[in-house]
Chain A
Amino acid sequence: DVKVTQSSRYLVKRTGEKVFLECVQDMDHENMFWYRQDPGLGLRLIYFSYDVKMKEKGDIPEGYSVSREKKERFSLILESASTNQTSMYLCASIHSATNEKLFFGSGTQLSVL
């Protein structure tokens, strides 16, 4: 089975800190995604990547950046964390040939105080 691993389940950070959320997948998927999920708002796409060193903005990229130096790893960076970035962050990957079923990590619940 495909495994998408997010480095932390829970994270507490202070306002203004730089935060790194790491995601690794083990199935050689080309496409990787970062979503955030908030009550009443559902899943919203932050950034995605189709290939190494390639990135595209999703629907809510403001305040975030990403890094994809290796195919299996996709990092989400909060340059200066703010309280409105408190959320559940979900990483996902998909094989570009099938393009159909997303595999998600277990999520990182980030609290910014």
Chain B
Amino acid sequence: SQKIEQNSEALNIQEGKTATLTCNYTNYSPAYLQWYRQDPGRGPVFLLLIRENEKEKRKERLKVTFDTTLKQSLFHITASQPADSATYLCALPYGGSQGNLIFGKGTKLSVKP
């Protein structure tokens, strides 16, 4: 079965630096991969989707890459701010799709002023 791993439970960085979070999966390459942000006590909020035929996608200070050879996605936040502190989850479709997603356990990002 598909497994998805976010290899850092926590990441601490200084304000203004670039945060890079990693998501690896083990089996088949999915048609797309998603990233979500979750604040404490809240539900996840969708950030970005990248498809298997896209190498890179950007949205404001966010950049996502998708390497189907390495079975890996990287999520970058440039010029990070304390307000970016949150848990970031990656997710892949599985089980015949129709919205079924398997989620990684998340990486908790802390941006210090």
Contact A100 B49 (CB under 8 A): yes
Would you give the shortest CB distance from B104 to chain A, in whole angstroms?
7
Complex alpha-carbon distance, A82 and B49, angstroms = 37
**Is A60 among interface residues, defined by CB-CB distance under 8 A?**
no
Closest to A38 in B: B105
B106 CB contacts on chain A under 8 angstroms? 42
Closest to A43 in B: B103
Number of interface residues of B (CB under 8 A): 22
Complex alpha-carbon distance, A90 and B44, angstroms = 9
Kindly state the interface size class of chain A when it binds its partner: 20 to 34
Contact B97 A99 (CB under 8 A): yes
Contact B41 A109 (CB under 8 A): yes
A31 CB contacts on chain B under 8 angstroms? 98-99
Contact A40 B34 (CB under 8 A): no
**Is B11 among interface residues, defined by CB-CB distance under 8 A?**
no
Complex alpha-carbon distance, A42 and B87, angstroms = 11
Contact A102 B101 (CB under 8 A): yes
Complex alpha-carbon distance, A105 and B49, angstroms = 20
Contact B45 A104 (CB under 8 A): yes
B residues near A, CB below 8 A?
A: 32, 34, 36, 41-46, 49, 89, 91, 93, 97-101, 103-106
Q: List 26 A-B contacts (CB under 8 A).
A: A4-B43, A31-B99, A33-B99, A33-B100, A42-B103, A43-B44, A45-B100, A90-B44, A96-B98, A99-B97, A99-B99, A100-B34, A100-B49, A100-B99, A101-B46, A102-B36, A102-B44, A102-B46, A103-B46, A104-B44, A104-B45, A106-B41, A106-B42, A106-B43, A107-B42, A109-B41
